[in-house]
């Protein structure tokens, strides 16, 4: 740009995934299929533009040419937001297509560098990206941050691929977070984050759908079914957030509580939870933003020391749980559409060859409690590189 105050970064990100099914006998039987196969895919092939006009404005744009979220492999605009800084009352605004601000999971797993290969099962309660406006600020002196947003979810389908469900017209969403950072230093190399966040979701067509994006992927996406609520009045989501970082070690956790009110029936309550942790064997570190937002400052994978001949090595683990069966419907899964109860155990290993290339491998053991504890084992790999 001729304007010297402007800063622009363009990035291309490609993820090449392969999954290998180790044990599909119980799951395949429970789902009425012969077998469940592994899959190869370009999971993402996205272009990002990221920049600022003076100190007062910044933007983030992202288009994925291989959008597996939609199941079609078509291109999709995933972020298109303009940020305003240094405003009189609200301090910072983010306007346009963006992610809402509840839970650490989606923010930690949606940016350039995902902490783990796939989002956890709490993703079942996540709606996004959304069209809206979010105000936020951080007060490092008092170690507080807040965010408050209002948005429309204008997509007319929920779920992914084979499971896509027509959810009708726009949903309206109010979302927000309040966090306390008793400790934060060195760009997040040492930090404790305690947060409460949540959302109020009002469907215009009385349909709400919970449960997308399985933590493992196969040749199909039916592993964890959806809960489709046709007479929904509104849903309230409450989240407790925790993150702890100390040098090469990090851990984080979200607990999601979901109360979905219905027009002519009792309320439904669901929940989801995960705790995950990672440790760099080579002493490297991941940086975190104090805001738990990553539109501006992205969690760069490894930064505090040079990558030597053997790169950086990180081991990871996660315990992840989703309960899509309500007490109101104990034993009556059909009334919930296809709601499920799932627990996943994940072990992971990441090798950062250099600043641009990462090879990740995850072993995932999945248990469907609602299907007589049927078990399923997958190894999934990712070769990720950036321009």
CB of 20: closest distance to a second copy in angstroms?
12
Q: In this complex, which beta carbon is closest to a second copy, that of residue 3 or of residue 141? A: 3
Residue from 28, 82, 265, 347 touching a second copy (CB under 8 A): that is 82
354-380 CB burial, b ≥16 within 10 A, e <16: eeeebbbebebbbbbebbeebbbbbbb
Q: Is 259 near a second copy (CB under 8 A)?
A: no
Distances (CA, A) of 11 to 79, 251, 296, 358: 14, 28, 14, 16
219 is a contact residue toward a second copy (CB under 8 A): yes
| Smaller CB separation from a second copy, 205 or 338 | 205
Nearer to a second copy, 66 or 343 (CB): 66
If DSSP codes are grouped into helix, strand and coil, which group holds residue 97? strand
Exposed, middle or buried by CB within 10 Å (0-12, 13-18, 19+), for 19?
A: buried
Give min distance, CB of 53 to a second copy, in A: 5
Among 31, 95, 187, 379, binds a second copy (CB under 8 A): 95
Instruction: Figure out which of the listed residues 65, 242, 255, 257 binds a second copy, where binding follows CB under 8 A.
Output: 65
Report strand pairing: 165-166 vs 268-280: unpaired
Q: Is there binding between residue 300 and a second copy (CB under 8 A)?
A: no
How many residues line the site for a second copy (CB under 8 A)? Answer: 48
When binding is defined by CB under 8 A, the residue of 26, 30, 31, 49 that contacts a second copy is 49
Q: Which is nearer to a second copy, 223 or 333 (CB)?
A: 223
Between residues 57 and 255, which has the closer beta carbon with respect to a second copy?
A: 57
166, 169, 246, 373: residue in contact with a second copy (rule CB under 8 A): 169
> Does residue 51 interact with a second copy by CB under 8 A?
yes
Helix ranges, the chain (H): 25-30, 105-109
Q: Is 148 one of the binding residues for a second copy (CB under 8 A)?
A: no
Contact flag: residue 166 with a second copy (CB under 8 A) = no
Pick the closest to residue 193 from 295, 104, 283 (CA basis). 104
Q: Are 302 and 113 in contact (CB under 8 A)?
A: no
57 counts as binding a second copy under rule CB under 8 A:
yes
Q: Is 328 in the site for a second copy (CB under 8 A)?
A: no
Judged by CB under 8 A, does residue 183 bind a second copy? no
Task: By CB under 8 A, tell whether 204 contacts a second copy.
Answer: yes
Q: How far apart are CA 300 and CA 78, in angstroms?
A: 20
Residues in contact with 161: Cβ distance below 8 Å, sequence separation at least 6, in sequence order: 70, 71, 72, 220, 221
Q: How many residues would you count in the chain?
A: 387
- Residue 113 sits at φ, ψ, to 5 deg, of -105, 115
Which tokens in the block code for residue 97? Answer: 């297509």
Residue 96 in tokens: 């346009």
Q: Is 162 left (phi over 0), alpha (psi -120 to 50) or beta?
A: alpha
Q: Does 152 engage in binding with a second copy (CB under 8 A)?
A: yes
3 lies in the site for a second copy, by CB under 8 A: yes
Find the shortest distance in angstroms from Cβ 60 to a second copy: 10
Instruction: List the x/- string, 354-373, binding to a second copy by CB under 8 A.
Output: xxxx----------------
Q: What single-letter DSSP state applies at residue 337?
A: B
How many CA atoms within 13 Å lie on the side-chain side of 58? 17
Contact flag: residue 87 with a second copy (CB under 8 A): no
Query: Interface with a second copy by CB under 8 A: which residues?
Result: 1, 3, 8, 12, 14, 16, 18, 37, 39-42, 45, 49, 51, 53-54, 57, 59, 61, 63, 65-66, 74-77, 80, 82, 95-97, 131-132, 152, 154, 169-170, 204, 219, 353-357, 383, 385, 387
């Amino acid at each position: 740009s001729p304007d010297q105050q402007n800063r622009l970064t363009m990035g291309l990100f490609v993820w090449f995934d392969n999954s290998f099914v180790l044990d599909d006998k119980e799951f395949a039987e429970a789902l009425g299929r012969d077998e469940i196969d592994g899959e190869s895919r370009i999971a993402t092939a996205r272009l990002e533009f990221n920049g600022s006009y003076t100190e007062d404005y910044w933007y983030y744009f992202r288009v994925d040419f291989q959008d597996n979220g939609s199941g079609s492999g078509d291109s999709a605009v995933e972020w298109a937001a303009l940020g305003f800084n240094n405003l009189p009352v609200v301090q910072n605004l983010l306007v346009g297509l963006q992610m809402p601000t509840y839970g650490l999971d989606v923010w930690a797993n949606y940016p350039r560098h995902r902490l783990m290969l796939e989002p956890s099962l709490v993703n079942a309660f996540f709606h996004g990206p959304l069209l809206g406006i979010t105000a936020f600020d951080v007060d490092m002196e008092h170690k507080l941050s807040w965010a408050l947003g209002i948005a429309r979810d204008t997509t007319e389908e929920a779920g992914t691929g084979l499971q896509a469900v027509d959810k009708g017209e726009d949903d309206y969403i109010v979302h927000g977070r309040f966090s306390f950072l008793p400790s934060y230093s060195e760009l997040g190399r040492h930090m404790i984050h305690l947060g409460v966040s949540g959302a109020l979701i009002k469907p215009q067509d009385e349909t709400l759908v919970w449960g997308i994006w399985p933590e493992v992927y196969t040749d199909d996406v039916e592993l964890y079914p959806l809960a489709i609520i046709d007479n929904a009045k509104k849903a309230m989501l409450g989240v407790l957030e925790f993150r702890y970082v100390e040098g090469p070690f990090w851990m984080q956790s979200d607990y999601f509580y979901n109360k979905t009110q219905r027009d002519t029936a009792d309320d439904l309550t669901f929940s989801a939870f995960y705790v995950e942790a990672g440790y760099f064997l080579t002493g490297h570190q991941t940086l975190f933003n104090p805001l738990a937002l990553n539109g501006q400052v992205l969690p760069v994978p490894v930064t505090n020391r040079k990558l030597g001949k053997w790169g950086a090595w990180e081991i990871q683990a996660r315990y992840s749980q989703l309960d899509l069966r309500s007490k109101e419907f104990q034993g009556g899964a059909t009334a919930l559409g296809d709601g499920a109860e799932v627990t996943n155990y994940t072990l992971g290993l990441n090798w950062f060859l250099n600043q641009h290339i990462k090879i990740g491998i995850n072993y995932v053991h999945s248990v469907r409690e609602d299907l007589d504890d049927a078990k399923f084992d997958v190894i999934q790999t990712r070769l990720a590189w950036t321009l």
